[in-house]
Structure 1
Amino acid sequence: MGDILFLTHRVPWPPNRGDKIRAHHILRKLMQYAPVHLACFADDEKETIEDSVVKTGLASVEIVRRTKSNMQAGIEAIISGKPVSLTSFDSDKIRKYVTDTIKTYNIDCIFVFSGQMAQYIPANFSGRVIMDFADVDSAKFESYADEGAGPMAWVNRREGKMLGAFERQVAERADYSLFVSQAEAQLFRQRSGLDDQKVKAVGNGIDLDFYDPNKAIATELESGGPLIIFTGQMDYRPNIEAVISFSKEVMPDILKQHPDAKFAIVGRAPTADVARLDGQYGTIVIGSVDDIRCWLKAADIVVAPLRIARGIQNKVLEAMAMGKAVVASSAAAQGIEAVDGHHFQVAASPAEEAKRVCELLSDPQNAKTLGDNAAALIRETYSWDHRLADIACLCGLDEPERLEAAE
């Protein structure tokens, strides 16, 4: 077996957001079997120089700072007739690195994480190609278009159509296309016409050692009362829409029964729209924190009120691993192998979210039982080793050939 070339749209360390978490653990798994070369983008200068045990174990690495503005990417997309998702991540440096790496090393497999990076698969590459789409991104943009109006609706409709065509083209080229859940995989099979021999589900896992409630000290708020929290990257549109909806539509009903309840929004880069929620309807905007586990440990209820969601929500799995009662929207619960009412609570509307949260706040023992059941489920079936058990085989790697250095 030769080397692996791993392409991903973000630096896969530290594993502190959904896409980086999945890429990080897959990369670490592959490094156990073969030398891996990595090409990726950095969102800021810090990421280009940040050290990591994973980074030092790579055969070679190319990290390119992404500086292209959304406006520039949009103009390039219109001129070139490509999706914005591709022009945003277009780089001559990455393209040269891919070409040089394939010429210099014996690359048997290219593993592509996220559709934006599939544009770097050389047309003449004869080795194995594994495409991890994670989610059906084109369907997300179609949802944005259906819910929007005006110029942005046109932009999102164009993106959904063009990205969908590109996804199908890439999947036909790849040996396997991977998705985070059976629901996403089945949706793509329907859209692409490909069968389950080429389109497979490889679910997300949880770092069970890290998300151990016994290893965290709960954050303390100055004001008492029940604490409801939401975690996530707060410049990501689905997360923004989720917290705005929960704060304005759900919290007023909760406050009628629990007037001292607080809703904490915990996550990096809150936008101006998110920041304006601070102080309204018991909402507190926390922003970035050093250790998310401290907030999860302190929470009475964790909510995931996403109105648009694709694939598996890591935020839900993390809260469940910490033994917390979770109230999730129907969209956020998709793909999670858990039972409504036993492992978590699923709510079909903002009104039902308020009802479920209030019931749990009024019955702490039921909330504790729900959290205990959730933690047991995650520890039984959601370890990364369990979830990635087949990844080496899909890449053409044999178990006996595992590198000694990774043992």
Structure 2
Amino acid sequence: MKEILFLAHRIPYPPNKGDKIRSFHLLKYLSESYRVHLGAFVDDPDDWRYVSEVEKFCGETRLLPLQPGRSKLKSLKGLATRLPLTVPYYADTRMGTWVDGILNERPIHAALVFSSAMAQYVADYDSLPRIIDFVDVDSDKWRQYAARKNWPMSWIYRREADCLVRYERKIANAFSRSAFVSENEAALFRSLAPEANDRILSIENGVDTAYFADRADYVNPYSPDELVMVFTGAMDYWANVDAVTWFANEIFPEIRRQLGSARFYIVGARPTESVRTLAQTEGVKVTGAVEDVRPFLKHARCVVTPLRIARGVQNKVLEAMAMGKSILSSEAAVEGIDVVDRLDLIVPKTPGDWVELGLNVLGADDFLPRESEKNRRFIMQRYGWEMSLHRLGTLLDSL
């Protein structure tokens, strides 16, 4: 059995948020054909309890604690260089020593690096086949952040965008292949790094369609008189925080004024103080972490994904569609998804559209269905993980 080195900036378990969902499925897929040696950081103390689950898929592992506060201080060193701040943030001599040991002692067929910050650990191994999974064009995401922040954060984010795109191009030129989560992301990066065009490809996200299935036995977490719009996601992620804050403050109050039974549920772990404060708005509910997000999706009238900042493919959209839910979404949240006509998915263009369409969805069962077989069927045909990851297997076989 061939051996693979897999480096990830965060332990790929549990698969309960965007990057972990993708990295876990990559790890699981690789483990079926390769002996995988995993190096990753653990930035949430609660995740240490999952180490035994991760090790089931691995040969050797090196999991190191990462303290966000201390790492932020380390990242400030990057201000004196042209490196993006994320590189010193994830720099650790212990990880470097382990990687060197694996590469010198094991017959490693190839290295798969998940996120640009981990590329530093194999930067000097030019003869090793190396694949970088950028996932998204992160430099563009930082540029979007800069546009919505005041100085000095706008300057820091703009600097990060500029430094990161240079770093991304350097990696793409050195590595065997660069992968992105959608063809849209790959095309954007080709425009930024034309010298690496022939080595840039997309490996799309998928959905665990057996897990995210519309089952009848999910207990309804809502009151019978509530007409629920739900948003799901990690609520310490700035793009999610921005989305629910905008929707709760600018859109939902008018929906609530016209339809008193309307409720907006924000479902997700680690809500920031600003998100928790939204619960003071009439009709807005903030749950925090829940044991299972599926009942909240199943029994909502519709899912809303009002992201104003987004890159790549949004797992929250794919999962909701797999559950057979109708969706009101911003254009940014569905930009990376190969959406076809006549799905039960509406993209409002203006705040007024959001209000009008939200009222229509909540007030009329025949406007958008409560259970969308079209959305479920689309995901089954287009976004199963097996189909998405076959491309990775073909790529590794060719190295």
The alignment's TM-score, normalised by the length of structure 1, stands at 0.93
Unaligned runs of 5+ in 1: 399-407
**Which has the higher mean CA deviation after the structures are superposed, 254-263 or 18-27?**
254-263
**Aligned residue runs from structure 1 range 252-291, under 5 A:** 252-291=253-292
Equivalence for 2:300: 299
Which residue of the partner structure matches residue 56 of structure 2?
56
Q: Decide which moves more: 370-379 or 389-398.
A: 389-398
What letter corresponds to residue 33 of structure 2 in structure 1? Y
Deviates more, 1:133-142 or 1:46-55: 46-55
Q: Distance in 2 between matches of 1:329 and 1:3?
A: 42
Equivalent residues of 1:344, 1:371 under 8 A apart: no
Match in the other structure for 1:38: 38
Q: Would the aligned equivalents of 1:233 and 1:270 in 2 still touch at CA under 8 Å?
A: yes
Aligned residues: 398
Q: Identify the structure with bigger relative contact order (alpha carbons < 8 Å, sequence gap 6+).
A: 1
2:328 equivalent in structure 1: 327
Alignment of 1:53-132 (within 5 A): 53-69=53-69, 71-132=72-133
CA contact (8 A) 2:231 2:266 kept: yes
1:48 touches 1:65 (CA, 8 Å); kept in 2? Answer: no
2:372 is paired with a residue of what secondary structure?
helix
Q: 1:16 to 1:68 in 2, by over 3 A?
A: closer
For the residue of structure 2 that corresponds to 1:62, the secondary structure is: strand
Q: Secondary structure at the match of 2:62?
A: strand
Cα drift, residue 300 of structure 1: 0.6
Q: Is contact 2:331–2:347 with CA below 8 Å preserved after alignment?
A: yes
Conservation of the 8 A alpha-carbon contact between 1:278 and 1:284: yes
Aligned residue number for residue 201 of structure 1: 202
Moved segments of 4+, more than 6 Å: none
Is the contact between residue 307 and residue 330 of structure 2 (CA under 8 Å) also seen in structure 1? yes
Equivalent in the alignment of 2:244: 243
- Matches of 2:384 and 2:324, distance apart in 1: 15
Shift of 1:124: 3.0
**Structure 1 position 53, deviation (Å):** 4.1
Compute the displacement of 1:104 (Å): 1.3
User: For each residue in 1:236-280, what CA deviation from the matched residue of structure 2 results, as whole angstroms up to 9, or x when unmatched?
Assistant: 110000000000111022113321110000001000100000030
What SS does the aligned partner of 1:39 have? strand
Provide the identity percentage: 35
Which letter maps to 1:140? Answer: K
Q: CA deviation at 1:209?
A: 0.8
Equivalents in 1 of 2:137, 2:375: separation in Å?
27
Q: Which amino acid aligns with 2:208?
A: D
Instruction: Identify if the C-alpha distance between structure 1 residues 16 and 52 changes in structure 2 by more than 3 Å, giving closer, same or farther.
Output: farther
Once the two structures are TM-superposed, the CA of residue 334 in structure 1 deviates from its matched residue by 0.5
Cα distance between partner residues in 1 of 2:88 and 2:351: 37
Q: CA deviation at 1:148?
A: 2.2
Residues 376, 237 of structure 1: alpha-carbon distance in 2 compared, 3 angstrom cutoff: same
1:142-153 aligned at under 5 Å gives the runs 142-153=143-154
Question: Relative to 1, partners in 2 of residues 1:26 and 1:57: Cα closer, same or farther, differing over 3 Å?
Answer: closer
CA distance in 1, matches of 2:72, 2:120: 20
Higher mean C-alpha displacement, 222-231 vs 271-280: 222-231
C-alpha distance in 1 between matches for 2:149 and 2:53: 43
* Residue equivalent to 1:318: 319
Deviates more, 1:51-60 or 1:23-32: 51-60
Structure 1 residues 339 and 255, CA, compared in 2 at 3 Å: closer, same or farther? farther
Report what 1:28 is aligned to.
28
Contact 1:77–1:87 under 8 Å retained in 2: yes
Judged with a 3 Å threshold, the aligned counterparts in structure 2 of structure 1 residues 344 and 363 are, in CA distance, closer, same or farther, namely same
Does 334-343 or 22-31 show the bigger shift? Answer: 334-343
Tell me by how many angstroms 1:46 deviates. Answer: 3.1
Correspondence for 1:154: 155
Local SS of the residue matching 1:368: coil
Q: Does 1:176 align with 2:177?
A: yes
The one-letter code sitting in structure 1 at the alignment partner of 2:135 is A
Q: CA contact under 8 A between 1:342 and 1:370: conserved in structure 2?
A: no
Query: What residue identity is the alignment partner of 2:372?
Result: G
**Does the aligned pair in 2 maintain the 1:338–1:344 contact within 8 Å?**
no
Q: Residues 129-168 of structure 1, C-alpha deviation per residue, up to 9 Å, x if partnerless?
A: 1110000000011111122221101100110000110000
- Deviation per CA, 1:194-229: give whole Å up to 9, x if none: 455311111100001100111651433246220110
Structure 1 stretch displaced more, 30-39 or 212-221:
212-221
DSSP-derived class of the 2:303 partner: strand
Deviates more, 1:217-226 or 1:280-289: 217-226
Tell me the distance in 1 between the aligned counterparts of 2:85 and 2:123: 20
Q: 1:81 to 1:195 in 2, by over 3 A?
A: closer
Partner of 1:402: none
CA contact (8 A) 2:131 2:175 kept: yes
Aligned pair in 2 of structure 1 residues 366, 302: CA closer, same or farther (>3 Å)? same
SS at match of 1:364: coil
Cα drift, residue 343 of structure 1 = 3.4
In structure 2, the CA distance between the partners of 1:44 and 1:370, relative to structure 1 (3 Å rule), is closer
CA distance in 2, matches of 1:244, 1:344: 22
Is there any run of 5+ residues in structure 2 with no aligned partner, and where?
none
Partner of 2:135: 134
